[in-house]
Amino acid sequence: MSARVGIHDLAVATAAHVLDLGDLATAAGIDPAKYRVGLGQEQMSVPGPDEDVVTMAAAAAAPILARHGADGIRTLFFATESGIDQSKAAGVFVHRLLGLPASCRVVELKQACYSATAALQAAADMVARRPEDRVLVIASDIARYDLDSAAEATQGAGAVAMLVAADPAIAEVEAAAGVFTADVDDFWRPNDSATAVVDGKLSIGAYLDGMIGAWDDYRARGGVAIDAIDRFCHHQPFTKMAVKAHRRLGEHVGVDLGAESMAASTGYNRRIGNSYTASLYLALAALLDTDDDLAGRRVGMFSYGSGSVSELFTLVVAEGYRAHTRGAETEALLAARTPVDVARYRELHAAAASLGSHDDAEVAQESAGPFHFTGIAGRARQYRRA
């Protein structure tokens, strides 16, 4: 890319409810330290009946449009592994809810937790070719596993929206990138299942293999040496996984990377839980909002999607980026979630799994967010703006 292209704005959203993992551990007769220390997780966001990936995606993108308007947005990429239809892109619903122009292509991308990175890279290439255009990239997911399963504590829900543009106000996407793909049955969600299937031990190994493979390819493709990267963000199915990955990368390159170079990136994920495609970019949001001044510093980004596809690339943080971050808004969003007890959480989990598309159904508004899923009519999902 000849022009500077990257993330011009970034905003996040999550679900309306929150479950304290200490309560979940106590109800299961488990030491809460297993979740808080072993997994590095404190809370998980829980969607209400009127929330899904569409409502969270629109809520994440709305502040960006309020700040910048829709002019020049020629593409909306929606990355998710919590798809709501086998044909229609979830982003088409978001397109209407946000009032985007008809002259805007909309595409949904899927590859487990990785596809937001594919969307970001495609967006950057589009803008490099036509610098007057802008691309809206949205990652939105709900991580849902079976009740009483080993993965239950790693559920969550969240969305991140990014405006990709020339001369970005937040961070430039650098050209070098390393990729690694391997066919691994570590995690998947069959078409007839509302919850994912996961082999935890295999997934951790595949994640680490993917990171090393992507790093080696990154260096072979002209990427900078490890000592030229100041901070790191890793995909976080749970935040302790990012710690493991950071340590493993250091071992591979023969240096002590130090926990301080990635610690700030875990702040939001440990409170939201796993958000699949949005996870890496929630890590970036936390880093930008809470680390020391990052202007001019390089951030290593590792993206992993089970199955599996991995990518490692870098960003360079722009001068003056702090004027464009949204730390106070994100903190207010997290604080506004309604706490639920374990019984209510289980009710919400069961209701989400049981909702089909064969019968018409109305869903009452429960959350206080700006967008709502209102039910099924003629087997089609219905949404409205509050």
Q: Which residues are catalytic?
A: 81, 113, 235
3-state SS, residue 256: coil
DSSP assignments along 148-189, one per residue: TSTTGGG-EEEEEEEEEEES-SSEEEEEEEEEEE----SEE-
Q: Which residues, 6+ apart, have CB-to-CB distance to 183 below 8 Å?
A: 307, 308
Helix, strand, coil shares of the chain as percentages rounded to 5? 40, 30, 35
Total number of residues shown for the chain: 386
C-alpha of 291 from chain center: 19
Taking the C-alpha atoms of residue 380 and residue 375, their distance in angstroms, rounded to an integer, is: 8
Tally the C-alpha atoms within 13 A of residue 60's C-alpha that lie toward its C-beta. 34
Q: How many CB atoms lie under 10 A from the CB of residue 102?
A: 5
Cα 33 from Cα 140, distance rounded (Å): 29
Task: Show Cβ contacts of residue 180 under 8 Å, excluding neighbours closer than 6 positions.
Answer: 209, 210, 213, 214, 217, 309, 310, 311
Helix (H) / strand (E) containing 232? strand 231-234
